Amino acid sequence: MLFSTSSVALIALVSSTQAFSLAPVSTVFKRHWPSGQRGYEKRQNGTACPAVWSQISHDLTTMFLSNGVCNDDARAAIRAVFHDCFPGEGCDGSLALPEELARHDNQPMAATVTKFKALADKYDVGIADMIAFAGSHAVVTCPQGPIVTTYIGRDDASVPAPEGQLPAASVGGDDALKHFSAKGFTAQDLAALIGAHTASRQFNTDTTNVGEAQDTTPGIWDIVYYVQTLLRQAPLSFQSDINLANQNQVGPWMKKFSTDKAGWDAAFSAAMTKMELLGTDGPGAMVDCTSALPRAHVARYAKSAPINARTY
Residues making up the annotated binding site for Ca(2+) are 84, 90, 92, 94, 198, 215, 217, 222
Q: Please choose, from the candidates 4, 5, 7, the residue with its C-alpha nearest in 3D space to the C-alpha of residue 199.
A: 7
**Residue positions forming the annotated binding site for heme b:** 197
Backbone angles phi, psi at 23, to 5 degrees: -75, 150
Please indicate whether residue 58 is annotated as part of the active site. Answer: no
Residues 6+ apart with CB under 8 A from 35: 124
At residue 18, what is the residue type?
Q
Q: Please choose, from the candidates 119, 218, 249, 168, the residue with its C-alpha nearest in 3D space to the C-alpha of residue 6.
A: 168
Three-state DSSP at 60 gives helix
Q: Sign of the C-alpha dihedral, residues 144, 236, 65, 67?
A: negative
Gyration radius from the chain CA atoms = 18
Q: Single out the catalytic residue among 32, 83, 137, 297.
A: 83
- CA dist 128 → 45, 50, 89, 111, 200 (Å): 21, 16, 12, 16, 22
Do 237 and 214 contact (CB within 8 A), yes or no?
yes
**Residue positions forming the annotated binding site:** 84, 90, 92, 94, 197-198, 215, 217, 222
For 244-280, letters b (16+ CB in 10 Å) and e give: bbebebbbebbebbbeebebbbbbbbbbbbbbbbbbb
Report, as residue numbers or ranges, the catalytic residues: 83
